[in-house]
Amino acid sequence: MESELITRIIASNNWLLIPVLASLVLLVVLKNKKRSNLFLIKSIFSYHDFKQLNKDQNNQSFNALKFFTAVLLMSVLISVLLYQQVSFVIFIKSFFSVALCFFGYLLISKSLGYLFENQPLFKENITYFTHFVLTISIISIPIISYLIISKNNISYAVCLAYLLVVFVLYVIRLFTLYTTGRQQRFLLMHLILYLCTLEILPVLIVYVLLQGK
């Protein structure tokens, strides 16, 4: 069913290329001038390199720019997948919905940091979450662009490869969160509750919305 959503014919929404191009400009701005282009590409998939890039630009405006870029790209992706014809109003609604979800996640993570008296760990999780969302957003750019400018069905192999990469990254994130939690001696019940509510439930909600459309 996911492949049918991605491979279906999309109505002409060429104006959506504007926020996609804007996000590309923002991604270039995110690059630290001290780092090479190869390092920037590696940081997309390597969390260790991403943390180094984060340390180079450790300021609030840089962090806000990362989140804005991720929200922008995810908004376009969701708009294209959910609607045949995307108006500006629909795009703005998608943008604020995604932004609200992101800020809700951050707020809950910070609250859990105070609750469990382990703020550094949950701050680290927020950085990891940022990296995960940016990675998904960036690898989605070719798919988003193709769906916007073309009315032809995208190849099933390309669709399958994209979904497989997203799924693998998601599983790696869940496994990393679980192992980190166990190393920090969190109770298994707390870990399962956290993963089910903040990591798995949002994905299931998005899946149900896509199925409904």
For position 205, what pLDDT does the model report?
A: 79
Cα–Cα distance list, 174 to 15, 93, 151 (Å): 35, 29, 35
For position 83, what pLDDT does the model report?
A: 77
Mean pLDDT per 10-residue section of the chain, whose length is 213 residues: 54 77 74 67 75 68 75 85 79 88 85 78 80 85 80 71 88 87 82 84 77 64
Q: Could you tell me the residue range of the domain that residue 174 belongs to?
A: 2-212
Confidence (pTM): 0.78
Cα–Cα distance list, 137 to 34, 60, 70, 72, 188 (Å): 24, 21, 6, 9, 31
DSSP annotation of 115: H
**Closest of 181, 194, 54, 74 to residue 127, by C-alpha:** 54
For position 57, what pLDDT does the model report?
A: 64
For position 52, what pLDDT does the model report?
A: 75
**Closest of 32, 105, 89, 41 to residue 65, by C-alpha:** 32
Cα separation, 17 vs 101, in Å, equals 23
Strand intervals (E) in 111-175? none
For position 79, what pLDDT does the model report?
A: 83
Count structural domains, the chain: 1
Q: Give backbone dihedrals phi and psi of 16, rounded to 5 degrees, phi first.
A: -70, -15
